[in-house]
Amino acid sequence: MTTRLHAADLAAQLADGSVTSVEATQAQLDRIAAVDGDLNAFLHVDAEGALATAADVDARRAAGETLPTLAGVPIAVKDLINTAGQPTTAGSKILEGWVPPYDATVVGRLRAAGLPILGKTNLDEFAMGSSNEHSAYGPARNPWDTSRIPGGSSGGSAAAVAAFEAPLALGTDTGGSIRQPGAMTGIVGVKPTYGGVSRYGVIAMASSLDQVGPMARSVLDAALLHEVVAGHDPRDSTSIDAPVPSVVEAARRGDVAGLRIGVVREFAGEGFQPGVQRRFDEAVAKLADAGAEIVEVSCPSFTHGIAAYYLVMPSEVSSNLARFDAMRYGLRVSPEGNPSPSAEQVMAATRDAGLGDEVKRRIILGTYALSSGYYDAYYGSAQKVRTLIAQDFNTAFAQVDVLFSPTAPTTAWRLGEKSDDPLAMYLEDVCTIPANLAGVPGISVPIGLADDSGLPVGGQFLAPAQADDRLYNAGAALERLVPAPVLEEVVR
Partner 1 sequence: MSSPLSREDVAHLASLARISLSVAELDRLGAELPAILDHVAAVQGVVESAGADVAPMSHPAPITNVFRADEPSPGLSRDDALAGAPASEEDRFLVPKILGEEA
Active-site residue, selected from the candidate residues 131, 154, 157, 177: 177
Q: In terms of CB distance, is 308 or 481 closer to partner 1?
A: 308
Binding of partner 1 by 349 (CB under 8 A)? yes
Q: Which of residues 114-133 bind partner 1 (CB under 8 A)?
A: none
239 is a catalytic site residue: no
β-strand pairing of 456-462 with 442-449: antiparallel
Binding of partner 1 by 439 (CB under 8 A)? yes
Helix (H) or strand (E) holding 309: helix 305-320
Distance from C-alpha of 404 to C-alpha of 99, rounded to nearest angstrom: 41
Distance from C-alpha of 96 to C-alpha of 91, rounded to nearest angstrom: 8
Distance from C-alpha of 418 to C-alpha of 120, rounded to nearest angstrom: 26
Active-site residue, selected from the candidate residues 21, 130, 135, 153: 153
Of 360, 419, 480, 491, the residue at the interface with partner 1 (CB under 8 A) is: 360
Q: Which of residues 326-345 bind partner 1 (CB under 8 A)?
A: 326-332, 334-335, 340-345
Size of interface with partner 1, in residues (CB under 8 A) = 74
Q: In terms of CB distance, is 285 or 327 closer to partner 1?
A: 327
From the CB of 90, what's the least distance to partner 1, in Å? 13
Dihedral sign from CA coordinates of 486, 467, 104, 175: positive
From the CB of 50, what's the least distance to partner 1, in Å? 23
Active-site residue, selected from the candidate residues 21, 78, 131, 135: 78
Binding of partner 1 by 310 (CB under 8 A)? yes
CB atoms within 10 A of CB 463: 26
> What Rg do the C-alpha atoms of the chain give, in angstroms?
21
Q: Which of residues 399-438 bind partner 1 (CB under 8 A)?
A: 422-423, 426, 437-438
Distance from C-alpha of 404 to C-alpha of 470, rounded to nearest angstrom: 12
Binding of partner 1 by 322 (CB under 8 A)? yes
Binding of partner 1 by 102 (CB under 8 A)? yes
Q: In terms of CB distance, is 272 or 310 closer to partner 1?
A: 310
131 is a catalytic site residue: no
Q: In terms of CB distance, is 62 or 343 closer to partner 1?
A: 343
Binding of partner 1 by 183 (CB under 8 A)? no
Binding of partner 1 by 234 (CB under 8 A)? yes
**3-state class (DSSP) for residue 253:** helix
Q: In terms of CB distance, is 8 or 306 closer to partner 1?
A: 306
Binding of partner 1 by 463 (CB under 8 A)? no
Alpha carbon 172 to its chain's center: 4
Instruction: Count Cβ atoms within 10 A of the Cβ of residue 47 and give its class: 0-12 exposed, 13-18 middle, 19 or more buried.
Output: middle
Of 16, 63, 64, 237, the residue at the interface with partner 1 (CB under 8 A) is: 237
Binding of partner 1 by 26 (CB under 8 A)? no
Binding of partner 1 by 382 (CB under 8 A)? yes
Binding of partner 1 by 31 (CB under 8 A)? no
Which DSSP category does 60 fall into? H
Q: Which of residues 186-205 bind partner 1 (CB under 8 A)?
A: 194-195
Distance from C-alpha of 29 to C-alpha of 470, rounded to nearest angstrom: 35
Q: Which of residues 202-221 bind partner 1 (CB under 8 A)?
A: 208
Instruction: Count Cβ atoms within 10 A of the Cβ of residue 435 and give its class: 0-12 exposed, 13-18 middle, 19 or more buried.
Output: buried
Of 15, 47, 55, 307, the residue at the interface with partner 1 (CB under 8 A) is: 307
Contacts of 428 (CB under 8 A, 6+ apart): 130, 180, 408, 409, 410, 418
Q: Tell me the β-bridge partners of 264.
A: 297
Distance from C-alpha of 473 to C-alpha of 407, rounded to nearest angstrom: 17
Distance from C-alpha of 332 to C-alpha of 324, rounded to nearest angstrom: 10
Q: In terms of CB distance, is 69 or 174 closer to partner 1?
A: 174
Q: In terms of CB distance, is 154 or 315 closer to partner 1?
A: 315
Binding of partner 1 by 160 (CB under 8 A)? no
Binding of partner 1 by 232 (CB under 8 A)? no
Q: Tell me the β-bridge partners of 86.
A: 83
Alpha carbon 489 to its chain's center: 23
Q: In terms of CB distance, is 25 or 315 closer to partner 1?
A: 315
78 is a catalytic site residue: yes
CB atoms within 10 A of CB 489: 9
Distance from C-alpha of 42 to C-alpha of 36, rounded to nearest angstrom: 7
Catalytic residues: 78, 153, 177
